[in-house]
Amino acid sequence: MSGSETRAFNRILRPDDIYDPEGTYWADLPVGRKVKFVNKVNNQEAKEEFAAVWSMFKKDPLAPFGAYFRNFIIPGMGLGLEGYVLFSIGNIKPLFQAAFPLCWGSKKICNPTWLAATEYLEICGIIVGQVSVGIIGDWLGRRWGLIQDATIMFFGLIMLIAAWGTTQNGWVICYAWSLFFYGIGVGGEYPMTATSGMENAVGSGKISTRFDRLHRGRQVTSAFLMQGWGQFFNQAILIILLLIFHHGSGNPPYSEVSAQWTYRISFVPPAIGTLLLIYFRVYKMRRSNTQLAAMKSKQKVTGYDVQSLKLMFRYFGLRVVGTAGAWYCNDVFFYGNKLFQSQFIAILTPNNHSVIVGWLWNLLNVVVSLFGYYLASFLVDNKLYGRKWMMIIGFMGDFILFVVPGFNYGYYSKAGIKSFQAMYFLSSFFNQFGPNSVTFLAAAEVYPVSVRATAHGFSAAVGKLGALHAAVMYNYTKTTQNFHIVPWFGLAGALLTWLFIPDTTGLDLKEAERRWTYIRAGREHDYHGIAIHPKHLSVWERFRGVAKDYDPDLDFQAKVAELRSNWEELQMKRAEEKLTALDEVDEEDWDPELHAYFSRTSNSSVTGFKDPIKESSEEEEKPSIAQ
Among 463, 478, 500, give the residue marking a domain's end.
Answer: 500
Planar angle of CA 583, 584, 590, nearest 5 degrees: 60
Separation CA 549–CA 241 (nearest Å): 62
Same-domain check for residues 329 and 418: yes
Main-chain phi, psi angles of 521, to 5 degrees: -90, 5
DSSP codes joined into one string, 335-363? HHHHHHHHHHHHHHSTT---HHHHHHHHH
Both 39 and 148 in one domain: the answer is no
Torsion angle, CA of 490/372/194/80, rounded to 10 degrees?
Answer: 120
Residue 511 forms part of a structural domain? no
Distance (Å, whole) CA 327 – CA 456: 10
Q: What is the pLDDT of residue 180?
A: 94
Give all strands (DSSP E) within 266-347, no chain letters.
none
pLDDT the model gives residue 474: 77
Number of independent structural domains in the chain: 2
- Whole-angstrom Cα distance, residue 320 to residue 454? 11
Residues 158, 211, single domain; the answer is yes
**Do residue 80 and residue 30 come from a single domain?**
no
Q: At what angle do helices 306-348 and 435-445 cross, to 10 degrees?
A: 170
Same domain, 14 and 74: no
The neighbouring-strand residues paired with 117 are none
Task: Find, among 65, 122, 85, the residue nearest to 237 by Cα.
Answer: 85
Q: Are 100 and 58 contained in the same domain?
A: no
Q: Are residues 214 and 337 in the same domain?
A: yes
Measured in degrees and rounded to the nearest 5, phi and psi for residue 153 equal -65, -40
Residue 521 lies in a domain: no
> In the chain, which residues have pLDDT < 70?
1-3, 200-208, 286-289, 302, 336-340, 342-343, 576-590, 603-627
What pLDDT is recorded for position 248? 74
In a domain, 591, yes or no: no
In sequence order, what are the residues at sequence separation of 6 or more whose Cβ sits closer than 8 angstroms to the Cβ of residue 542?
Answer: 534
Pair (291, 429) in one structural domain = yes
The dihedral sign for the CA sequence 469, 473, 479, 482? negative
Instruction: Mark whether 135 and 10 lie in a shared domain.
Output: no
279/361 same-domain check: yes
Asked if 84 and 189 count as a contact pair (C-beta separation under 8 A), the reply is no
Handedness of CA 372, 373, 374, 378 (dihedral sign): positive
User: Which residue, 451, 469, 500, sits at the end of a domain?
Assistant: 500
Tell me, yes or no, whether 46 lies in a domain. yes
The answer to whether position 472 is within a domain reads yes
Q: Do 60 and 157 have their domain in common?
A: no
Is 549 among the domain residues? no
pLDDT in tens, 238-286: 999 999 998 777 788 899 999 999 999 999 999 999 999 999 888 877 6
Do 157 and 96 touch, CB atoms closer than 8 A?
no
Question: Residues near 94 by Cβ (< 8 Å), separated by ≥ 6?
Answer: 342, 355, 358, 359
Cα–Cα distance for residue pair 162/165, rounded to 1 Å:
10
Q: What is the pTM of this model?
A: 0.87
* Domain endpoint, select from 500, 531, 555: 500
Bridge partners (DSSP) listed for residue 19: 25
Whether 584 is covered by a domain: the verdict is no
51 and 108 share a domain? no
The domain that contains 77 carries what CATH number?
A: 1.20.1250.20
At 617 the pLDDT is 47
Give pLDDT, residue 577.
Answer: 61
Phi and psi (nearest 5°) for 589?
A: -80, -30
Q: Does residue 89 lie in a domain region?
A: yes
Q: Residue 118: give the domain boundaries.
A: 67-500
